[in-house]
Structure 1
């Protein structure tokens, strides 16, 4: 039994590293709006316990505690956020908390009201004042230093995240509906994780609506840094099972809508993602098909001058873009770049070299033509708008042909088709490049690929590796000549006569 303010303060001090104990104590479970509810849900308890275990470990207490949960609808994410916020404020003087969400509407109409609701339900409700955008201490002199703030994010205004420091005390950073938060905000927020001797808690919750981006990366290449889980709404107590079952029955268990809204799984493709990650992942691990002697070796070159971008040489022979090592150059001038490509050409004997003519590409092309007079060196103008068609998929007889708006869209569409059976280097950067671009349609309903500048505005890197591989699809390349005795058209024919055609014949001439 807590008797008076002094006992309550002592109890809060005792629970400084026990978020679950705090939640069980301060709310009127089983009463009023919590009637029929005995405490936090199972998944909520697990998160609260994980925070407590992290803070009680001498080796982990002052390391960032990173917890991410991807889930379907209705599991109580906002309620858990409110419980963590109230515990963090109640049990550590001058705690600083910043919360943001994918949209201002989510933050101000869902996350904010839920925080205010749970704050008012608690036995410490008079310790903090709730407004539409903050929960601040009522203790005189601590209004600015002991608080939680709801901040809408902007890629051009990230000061709130860059300035979140509270050395020697406690910091909590919360991203609600984190899948839609821009990569730049994530990057700047990392600055809050650098204070020494500080309790730092970083929570990222939300429906997994995007198959690319930083939130997706927490469950992939960053999974060793984060405590992650994906939660099926059907397994959580208190969710609307009838509604969830209706979604499954209507759209199917394998549909992206059900994956995201029910199963808590990332979609196979974002709504306008051009190449699905599953297709690229399969190409990374697929064994190369046996090479045909007729398959030409093709070089694709994407040129970049300076900055964060890099120049890439991709090498493809038929279905195999892995066996011959690719090359990448950072901050390389055109003459040196052309010389290095010529060296690779001497090694691999390409039948054609296709070079992006933008940036320093024109100079590279001129120099390659001087160095390699016997090899086709062709310029590729990504923005060329000549009316084109490309292979959309491999289904049916010969696949589906679609209209594309420019040369870049044509190459990427043909590459997309090829990836269904081709193999590529097992390289995370290449996968990110191939799955990063989104697409739309122009006024003529032709497919347009997302511009590099637009990708960078979304926090993605320029897809230099992806564009290099796409260049290998710039134009058809004639098959290589093979010995006559390997000519499949001669199988079953009698030897001799005009059909012999000499020792070699060019299959490209049929």
Structure 2
């Protein structure tokens, strides 16, 4: 967003009677001195911002004061500003005292304790909200909003409520938080990094200059390394406790030399919803090829799969046959291809360990990433695949079997459907004999080898 409207007369200068000022006659000095790390944030020119900061960095104080300053200097009629925490009670505990403290020098300011609202002269208003009651925000217009810890909120709050509320007045938005794995905050940050319309700030404790070095050293002694990386060093790569595939496995696979070993197999994940992607993926022990498709029907998808099969000649083609994927399976079979129809919700081969086929495929894929899989850079969409692989969480069902997080639950956390990850997982639906193993099996008596390999 552009900075405060410099052409607008200062509200604080126009107040009567004027308060004694430290800068010039008629101006109010708020009791806030920005920490050096946040000065570029206050001077930003972008409309949208994402701040990823370590604990106790002062991001709440900085963003509350940013709201106050912009409210004071706004020239639009009756401007409205909001600070939103995951819960209404959190908003009160985190930001309410700050809002009252820093607006106290403004004459004519009125505090409404029951609504967590501060009214300033000129019908200016700043109010705290909780994302647990989004209906209180529907129908409002906003000139600016701070969203605190978006990872704990549903993205629909932004898409359906807040973004439209900013539209007619060109309002700004600031998202603030500390990493907690791959979630909506991560998705926002990745988007912001690539978009010049967004301001980004990453503030790890080791570089912010806010915490004393002795305190940081003590924290590293008292906290688990993964928590230090996440909470203090702002790492999205620190493994979450319920993360099924840790980032370290994906990183290791990305650094592993390419190999031509293993069977060449193709996985096809067919889009079921409008914003999902259809994916064609080919791998042996090395990821060889990915093709991402959007906005095409099942007949077009089947034609493109057939085209890729002619190029890559896989030993097996696995297609997610659930829903619309069944049409792709039927069409490919009509075209003469040998296709395996995979039902992700079906029974796992190792039914005592996995709750369904999808969990089993991801489990075998995780072992492959750990033991020998290679994900070389330079493959189209490789970074998107890496994001997909570390996104799902897991739990156990009543029988103690592993169950992978559902796609709808991931979307509720602000993450897209892991379509590329599912396409790779499909290639592990059943073991497939590599050409070399087929040759050994045909040449003589049984030897010490496994004729089937994932």
Is the Cα–Cα contact under 8 Å of residues 103 and 109 in structure 2 kept in the other structure? no
Is the Cα–Cα contact under 8 Å of residues 99 and 175 in structure 1 kept in the other structure? yes
Alpha-carbon separation, structure 2, partners of 1:378 and 1:368: 10
Is residue 2:127 matched to residue 1:149?
A: yes
**1:83: Cα distance to partner?**
1.9
| Deviations, residues 16-48 of structure 1 (Å, cap 9, x unaligned) | 9xxxx97xx232x8xxxxxxxxx3332244433
Is residue 2:246 matched to residue 1:276?
A: yes
Alpha-carbon separation, structure 2, partners of 1:273 and 1:187: 26
3-state SS of paired residue (1:326): strand
Query: What does residue range 377-456 of structure 1 map to in structure 2 within 5 Å?
Result: 377-386=339-348, 388=350, 403-420=353-370, 421-423=373-375, 425-427=379-381, 428-456=383-411
**1:314: Cα distance to partner?**
1.6
Higher relative contact order (CA 8 A, sep 6+): 2
Alpha-carbon separation, structure 2, partners of 1:263 and 1:9: 42
- Per the alignment, residue 9 of structure 2 pairs with none
**1:125: Cα distance to partner?**
4.9
Which stretches in structure 1 are left out of the alignment for 5+ residues? 30-38, 55-63, 166-170, 390-401, 490-498
Distance 1:184 1:15, change over 3 A: farther
**1:462: Cα distance to partner?**
2.4
- Per the alignment, residue 290 of structure 1 pairs with 259
**1:138: Cα distance to partner?**
5.6
**1:325: Cα distance to partner?**
4.4
3-state SS of paired residue (1:414): helix
3-state SS of paired residue (2:287): coil
Is residue 2:177 matched to residue 1:206?
A: yes
Distance 1:201 1:282, change over 3 A: farther
- Per the alignment, residue 137 of structure 2 pairs with 160
TM-score by length of 1: 0.72
Query: What does residue range 358-369 of structure 1 map to in structure 2 within 5 Å?
Result: 358-369=322-333
**1:92: Cα distance to partner?**
2.9
- Per the alignment, residue 113 of structure 2 pairs with 131
**1:251: Cα distance to partner?**
3.4
Alpha-carbon separation, structure 1, partners of 2:108 and 2:24: 19
* Pairing partner for 2:54 from 50, 63, 72: 72
Is the Cα–Cα contact under 8 Å of residues 81 and 144 in structure 2 kept in the other structure? yes
3-state SS of paired residue (1:204): strand
**1:298: Cα distance to partner?**
0.9
Distance 1:282 1:474, change over 3 A: same
**1:411: Cα distance to partner?**
0.5
**1:288: Cα distance to partner?**
5.8
**1:9: Cα distance to partner?**
8.1
3-state SS of paired residue (1:222): helix
Is the Cα–Cα contact under 8 Å of residues 358 and 381 in structure 1 kept in the other structure? yes
* Pairing partner for 1:43 from 37, 41, 51: 37
**1:245: Cα distance to partner?**
3.3
- Per the alignment, residue 332 of structure 1 pairs with 297
- Per the alignment, residue 398 of structure 1 pairs with none
**1:439: Cα distance to partner?**
0.9
| Deviations, residues 445-490 of structure 1 (Å, cap 9, x unaligned) | 2221011222233333322222121110011101104898xx7x9x
Distance 1:192 1:430, change over 3 A: farther
Alpha-carbon separation, structure 1, partners of 2:192 and 2:25: 31
Alpha-carbon separation, structure 2, partners of 1:330 and 1:482: 40
- Per the alignment, residue 88 of structure 1 pairs with 70
**1:337: Cα distance to partner?**
3.5
Distance 1:7 1:387, change over 3 A: same
- Per the alignment, residue 493 of structure 1 pairs with none
* Pairing partner for 1:260 from 230, 234, 255: 230
3-state SS of paired residue (2:108): helix
- Per the alignment, residue 58 of structure 1 pairs with none
TM-score by length of 2: 0.80
Alpha-carbon separation, structure 2, partners of 1:336 and 1:5: 67
- Per the alignment, residue 8 of structure 1 pairs with 18
Is the Cα–Cα contact under 8 Å of residues 279 and 290 in structure 2 kept in the other structure? no
Aligned positions, number: 430
Is the Cα–Cα contact under 8 Å of residues 112 and 132 in structure 1 kept in the other structure? no
3-state SS of paired residue (1:220): helix
Which stretches in structure 2 are left out of the alignment for 5+ residues? 1-11
Alpha-carbon separation, structure 2, partners of 1:266 and 1:328: 28
3-state SS of paired residue (1:67): strand
Aligned-pair Cα RMSD in Å = 4.0
**1:271: Cα distance to partner?**
3.0
- Per the alignment, residue 4 of structure 2 pairs with none
* Pairing partner for 1:469 from 421, 424, 442: 424
Is the Cα–Cα contact under 8 Å of residues 90 and 124 in structure 1 kept in the other structure? no
Alpha-carbon separation, structure 2, partners of 1:3 and 1:288: 66
| Deviations, residues 200-247 of structure 1 (Å, cap 9, x unaligned) | 4432222222x3233223443421433322223466677576654332
* Pairing partner for 1:320 from 264, 286, 301: 286
Alpha-carbon separation, structure 2, partners of 1:206 and 1:114: 17
Is the Cα–Cα contact under 8 Å of residues 184 and 414 in structure 2 kept in the other structure? no
Alpha-carbon separation, structure 2, partners of 1:278 and 1:386: 27
Alpha-carbon separation, structure 2, partners of 1:77 and 1:229: 11
| Deviations, residues 386-433 of structure 1 (Å, cap 9, x unaligned) | 4627xxxxxxxxxxxx93221111101111222343216441443343
Is the Cα–Cα contact under 8 Å of residues 437 and 455 in structure 1 kept in the other structure? yes
- Per the alignment, residue 187 of structure 1 pairs with 159
